[in-house]
Amino acid sequence: MNTQKLKLVGAACLALCLLAACGEDVGTGEAKFTTWGEEYIEATIPADPTGEAGFVDGWTLHYDKFLVVFHAITVADSRGAVAATMPGSKFVDNTRPGRKDLVSFPELDAIHWDRVGYQIKPALPDSEVVAGDVTDRDMMAANGYSVYVAGSASKVGPDGKTVSKTFHWGFKTATQYQGCQQSAESGQPIEGIVVTNGGSDVSELTTHGDHLFYDRLMSSNDPAVKTSLRFDEKAAADKNDDGEITLEELSATRIDVRLYDPSGLDAPTYGAFVTSLARTIGHYRGEGECAVSVLR
């Protein structure tokens, strides 16, 4: 046989072998999904004048509730093949300590599934209570909330007296988190998950409680421009000075553009600003990122 033809036939056979995994069973494994709120939600967000790990303006914040409803956790690949999708929805209060199990998908093909996504959408009357109170789930379903936070913040004023404010904010946002990637210490982020034969891959859908108090809607490409946590302006929005900051009060107060950057998005008031930030609370495996889009 012609040597060139042999090379072509060999190359074709190798390509087919690779595509078909050489006729061998790749095996199966499990993909498991959990959620956690990290220390900022379970404990406190401290004051930090450096802005590295807390409020630059001296406030300390504690969450009493951090309620989130997860929908449509999905494992797929870039070709559009869907391995599994979570049915129904799961309600979680991430102030409850520790990681909470959301769903497990057993017997997935042991390959790289590079498209992982999930949704945070309004609660339903039958959303499963994973961690938290059923009365809170019912409240969220009745009001159409997807995210609900309640807590308090305090600061020692120039006169030495402690100022305290409380908040109870419900958001009706519906958000898709898609193409989730694990952050990498070095090199490129890892897309999705890798299921190994007989193994169990665990993905944490992390919620970040500090994001609601960012002073930018999008991080700057300039490393010299930092994103900071601020609370003074929210506290000042409590115009009737009853100690409770409402979303209505925030929505009636225009942002200080010297301190807050809407990053080209439509957020002229603190209410709109915080509502936009509510879409950014969802992360992946700690600091991993997902592409965020609005669900209608």
Q: What percent of the chain has pLDDT over 90?
A: 84
**Each residue of 132-183: pLDDT tens digit?**
999 999 999 999 999 999 999 999 988 999 999 999 999 999 999 999 999 8
Residue that wins the pLDDT comparison between 176 and 25:
176
Sign of the Cα torsion 9, 11, 14, 18 reads negative
From residue 59, alpha-carbon distances to 220, 237, 247 in Å are: 24, 15, 19
How much is the average pLDDT of 20-44?
86
Task: Give the number of other CB atoms < 10 A from CB of residue 288.
Answer: 20
Distance CA 277, CA 164 (A): 23
Per-residue model confidence as pLDDT tens digits over 66-97: 999 999 999 999 999 999 999 999 999 999 99
CA proximity to 275, closest of 290, 291, 262:
262
Is-contact 289 183, C-beta < 8 A?
Answer: yes
Q: Is 257 exposed, middle or buried (0-12, 13-18, 19+ CB in 10 A)?
A: exposed
Give CA 55 to chain center in angstroms: 20
**For residue 195, what are the CA distances in angstroms to 160, 183, 199, 200?**
56, 18, 7, 7
Q: What is the pLDDT of residues 220-237, one digit of tens each?
A: 888 888 999 999 999 999
Contacts of 20 (CB under 8 A, 6+ apart): none
Q: Are 216 and 256 in contact (CB under 8 A)?
A: no
DSSP 8-state secondary structure symbol assigned to residue 22: G
* Alpha carbon 116 to chain centroid, angstroms: 13
**pLDDT-based confidence at 40, cuts 50/70/90?**
very high
> 170: closest CA among 122, 126, 217?
122
pTM of the model: 0.90
DSSP 200-236: EEEEEEEB-GGGGGBSBSS--SSTTS---B--HHHHH
Cβ neighbour number for residue 118 with a 10 Å cutoff:
27
**pLDDT over threshold 90, residue 217:** yes
Confidence grade of residue 218 (pLDDT, cut at 50, 70, 90): very high
What is the C-alpha separation between 177 and 113, in angstroms, rounded? 16
Distance CA 69, CA 90 (A): 6
C-alpha triplet 20, 110, 180: angle, nearest 5°: 110
Cα angle 116-178-185, degrees, rounded to a multiple of 5:
70
